[in-house]
A and B are shown apart, each in its own frame.
Chain A
Amino acid sequence: MALDAETREQLISSVRRFVDERLRPIEDQVSENDAVPAEIVEEMKELGLFGISVPVEYGGLGLNMEEECLLMFELGRTSPAFRSVIGTNVGIGSQGIVMHGRQDQKEYWLPKIASGEVIISFALTEPEAGSDAASLKTTAIRDGDHYVVNGTKRFITNANKAHAFTLMARTDPKTPGAKGVSAFVIPRDIPGISIGKPEKKMGQQGAHICDVIFDNTRIPADCLLGETEGKGFVTAMQVLERGRLHISAVCMGVASRLVEDSTKYAAERKQFGAPIGNLQLVQAMLADSKMEHYAGRCMVIDAAKRRDAGEDVATESSCAKLFCSEAVGRIADRAVQIFGGAGYVADYGIERFYRDVRIFRIYEGTSQVQQVIIARNMLKEVQ
């Protein structure tokens, strides 16, 4: 159920204030230490950020997609590493349970996910299965009242902090492709699960991705998500489709920050005896960034509203993810250009954003995967 305008406004301004007062002042520190301080994570729990997408009956806020995106516009106005702290609980980690979990799984996991007591990660990608997710090799073979899991998952966000995983594994090795894949929700503390060292990344220091290795890991059979095997791939795709709008909103949050910073700098920085904002070539960059931010924001809101109204927005979600992630890349590039030398050195944080936003074009479906989805859907309609 959609919130009234006043409550929605209060939620937005509460997140905005938290970002302005608590997160923005420590962006450099988080990047330097490659860690979000524990007290900030606690404050995020108290604020209720972990539970925004979990239904009210399981202790969350039960926000609809538009409301979630509006909050992500705000949370995006700082280093994306902060968003990553709640990202898997709000999105890819939890939504499989919300969409396809059994009643007992929802009752057990969702309240803990909503409060942040449990951090949950999404384990789909493998060393040899990225964009071609249906080719995944990790197996989960039924053995009495257990499944035995073997395989390696790669680049798993928040794996080193996770208490649980939504895992995609092949339960039927004889069936290649999507149909042989099932989804599981498993606690981290089962013997036989090991976590690799956090990868050294180009950006988003403070957010971590690691390998997750399963070595003859025996998981109880009731960890299977839902009632039947073979539904895992569909679950993964539905979760990712929803996640695309969330990521698009985060992209436009970062974009708004960069537009704001670029404009302020252009108004202050003087060259040739006047602010560089007076120069038409600088104005062109500002205008292009503003235009792209506005276009992306409109796309996100439109697609989210349609999704909330029950429409199939697979194409629109991919359009939004493709446009917003590419646009924020261009906006970050222009920000570096407007800041000039100051944009290239670390002190102003602009080069940090430039590195941070690069991943948006890659994870949760690369730009090329989005293009394929969009075009395939278009052609399907005329065939």
Chain B
Amino acid sequence: MKVLVPVKRVVDYNVKIRVKSDQTGVDLANVKMSMNPFDEIAIEEAVRLKEAGKATEVVAVSIGVAQSTETIRTALAMGADRGILVKSDETVEPLNVAKILKGIVEAEKPDLVILGKQAIDDDSNQTGQMLAALLGWAQGTFASKIEFDGDKILLTREIDGGLQTLKLNMPTIVTADLRLNEPRYASLPNIMKAKKKPIDEKTPADYGVDVKARLEVLKVTEPPQRQAGIKVESVEQLVSKLKEAGVIG
């Protein structure tokens, strides 16, 4: 079984995000970038499938600027076998990402694609679903557990108030939720070995995709600053203040 895992280069989750003063986007100058944490979980799951003898090859793919190679290297250091970089200096929207991935899936013919459920930069949560639709494949989103039942996948999803288990036909699209696993640290020897693993370089045009944006970002703003509160002396005063604020009748 061959597993394809798309990984995205995003602002590191520890970085305090700053909005550009002209409100066109987030300031990325000298900001630490890392693999999207949900994609790390996806890679971890794929590598575990390989270690368990279920997967034969794990391919990591990243779509974005040249430095996305670093993100692929992290995936290779975690245990993926090879990488594909689809280079684009433009922002690639989820639908275009899904179209490029469709092209890669047709070329690579994986049995399983595991994606992070969403990227922490734009929180779109669309790519996996769109890819499944474009391919006409089954999809299991927000996976917290993946098991195999013959040639089918038993997938547990965390939903409001409980768990839902799906049986999916292969090939299939899975998107990883937070509790699917705890990703490993890329060990120092594996980081060194990852240097020797191959990374193919492609362009969106190789898959016949025009990455021109369909959406226009009007503005990006910081969340409003939280206003200072006040201290009240008594319950009566609290009630009257709440009435003043129109919170209670």
Contacts and interface: CB of A to CB of B under 8 A. Distances in A.
A10 B189 contact: no
A9 B32 CA distance: 11
B188 A48 contact: yes
B148 interface: no
A237 interface: no
Interface stretch (B18-26, B70-78, B103-111): B70-78
A46 B185 CA distance: 9
A6 interface: yes
A6 B188 contact: no
B192 interface: yes
A52 B188 contact: yes
Interface of A is mostly: helix
Contacts, number: 46
A14 B186 contact: yes
Contacts of A14: 77, 185-188, 191
A221 B69 CA distance: 52
A376 interface: no
Chain B contact residues: helix, strand, loop or mixed? helix
A46 B78 CA distance: 12
Contacts of B70: 6, 9-10
B189 A51 contact: yes
A346 interface: no
Contacts of A15: 188
Contact of B186 (A3, A6, A10): A10
B195 A7 contact: yes
B188 A47 contact: yes
A86 to B, nearest CB: 11
Interface string A1-31: 0011011011101110110000000000000
Interface of A: 3-4, 6-7, 9-11, 13-15, 17-18, 43, 46-49, 51-52, 61
Given A6-B69, A48-B189, A52-B188, 12 more contacts: A7-B73, A7-B191, A10-B73, A10-B186, A11-B188, A11-B192, A13-B34, A47-B187, A48-B190, A49-B188, A61-B188, A61-B189
